[in-house]
């Protein structure tokens, strides 16, 4: 998730800089008396900047909602709920990444089907390890 948020923050920063440049050009055109250039600049570049900013924000919101759904499924799951805090959920390049440890392989196998039942169709990489159990000698 941090990768997506950083990428979206970078996109936002770029868009803000482009918006500032657009504003400078608009003011300069007004000062030069070229209102025709002002009217041409605002609709094309202004709308493009705003739509790119909106798309970046929507993507970030979608990731956040997806992570919230996964976390709520883990907390509400009958078998997984006691161990929900032991599983870290993140997003890396459009893939849900699960990390942490669980006490049994059966619990590990229940992770992906539980997340799918929540309606999450993204790729899922299950890196959750099973705790080693002590054997009697």
Is 11 domain-assigned?
yes
Q: Do the beta carbons of residue 102 and residue 108 sit within 8 Å?
A: yes
Contact 67, 91 (CB under 8 A): yes
Looking at the DSSP assignment, which residues form a beta bridge with residue 87?
100
In a domain, 103, yes or no: yes
Count up the domains in the chain and report the number: 1
Domain of 45?
2-130
Residue 136 falls inside a structural domain: no
pLDDT, position 60: 77
pLDDT above 70 as % of the chain: 55
Q: Which pLDDT tens digit goes with each residue over 9-27?
A: 565 566 556 666 666 665 5
Question: What pLDDT is attached to residue 137?
Answer: 44
Put simply, whether the predicted model's pTM sits higher than 0.75 gets the answer: no
Domain membership flag for residue 137: no
Write phi, then psi, for 120 (nearest 5 degrees). Answer: -90, 115
């Amino acid at each position: 998730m941090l990768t997506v948020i950083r990428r979206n923050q970078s996109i936002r920063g770029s868009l803000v800089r482009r918006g500032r440049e657009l504003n400078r050009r608009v003011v300069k055109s007004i000062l030069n008396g070229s209102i025709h250039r002002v009217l041409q600049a605002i609709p094309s570049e202004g709308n493009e900047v705003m739509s790119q900013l909106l798309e970046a924000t929507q993507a970030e919101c979608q990731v956040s909602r997806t992570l919230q759904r996964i976390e709520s499924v883990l907390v509400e799951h009958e078998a997984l709920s006691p161990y929900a805090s032991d599983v870290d959920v993140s997003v890396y390049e459009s893939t849900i990444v699960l990390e942490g440890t669980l006490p049994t392989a059966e619990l590990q196998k229940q992770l992906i089907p539980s997340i799918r039942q929540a309606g999450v169709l993204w790729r899922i990489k299950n890196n959750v390890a099973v705790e080693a159990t002590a054997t009697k000698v």
